[in-house]
Amino acid sequence: MKKLINDPKAVVDESVEGFGLAHADLVTVHPDPLFVSRKEAKSGKVGLLSGGGSGHEPLHAGYVGFGMLDAAVPGAVFTSPTPDAIIPATLAADSGAGVVHIVKNYTGDVLNFETAAEMAQAEGVQVRTVLVNDDVAVEDSLYTAGRRGVGGTVLVEKIAGAAAERGDGLDAVAAIGQRVNDNVRTMGVALSACTVPHAGVPSFELGEDEIEIGIGIHGEPGRHRIPMENADGITDRLLEPILADLKPAPGEKVLLFVNGMGGTPASELYIVYRHAVKVLEGAGLVVERSLVGNYITALEMQGCSISVLRLDQEMTSLWDAPVHTPALRWGM
């Protein structure tokens, strides 16, 4: 295992410390318990909090800032943060209007955020939860009951964050986040496995000529393993179950999100995007907005995921709204 680390047990602490130093104008790092909060909070605004296991950078801390999250809680690599950290992060995100928890559907995340929400509400903070479960690959896995939360999480955080920034109330922000989740579907592929630092070995084995269709963001195996194909063929395999599940009507406008899993160069992601646009347009859809890059990763895994979000006018407007975070920024 070759990684730019010192001690495998210190990876998250040292990484978040460096992240805080690099983006000190936007975020504050709280070391014990570990969480990241927005540097300049807006009083009276609904707070947004998300979190989960580390290893998915820039998710979630990279989206703390204007127009997105007010706080993020990084757990150990691929391990849910504990309520001990989620509770103070919730309190830090609250400026008097309540807090929306954006939680990916993994068993540990769900249980720990539920516990933290109950504790925060006991201290007088109103909490609502949006559970993200956009992955069409599997219903259940080693990590979940039901569908996993994957690439759609980024879209939920951006659009709900813009709603909070414009002054929407607690229930309204949660409702728009839920609406995004209800209208987005994602499917991923791995060309290689990733290696968790403290494990020191790949999370699964793939032959030189094999790929895994339907992987999750923790390195868990997917729906099936097949021989390597060209980019267009793989793109077709990812889009087919997305469109079958989402069932968009011809003429609908969509956002197309091609996400790298950490080890895939941008040039390859744009090749996937190129064909995905052709497929969607061939189905009569209008690709109204796009996002291409490494935004929710699985350490150094080679591969990508595709997310398709059915847009309405309000979601499009909120997507376009200004955002200024370490990992996503436009319109300021």
Query: Cα separations (Å) of 5 from 12, 15, 157, 236?
Result: 10, 9, 29, 37
Q: What is the distance between the alpha carbons of residues 245 and 173, in angstroms, rounded to a whole number?
A: 25
> Is 56 among the residues known to form the active site?
yes
**Out of 23, 30, 60, 218, which one is annotated catalytic?**
218
Start-to-end CA span in the chain (Å): 41
E-assigned strand segments in 123-214: 127-132, 184-190, 210-213
DSSP code, position 183: T
Alpha carbons 203 and 109: distance in angstroms, whole number: 20
Query: Which of 56, 60, 101, 275 is an active site residue?
Result: 56
Q: Is 218 a catalytic residue?
A: yes
CA atoms within 13 A on the CB side of 58: 20
Question: If you ran DSSP here, which 8-state letter would residue 202 be given?
Answer: B
Catalytic residue annotation? 56, 218
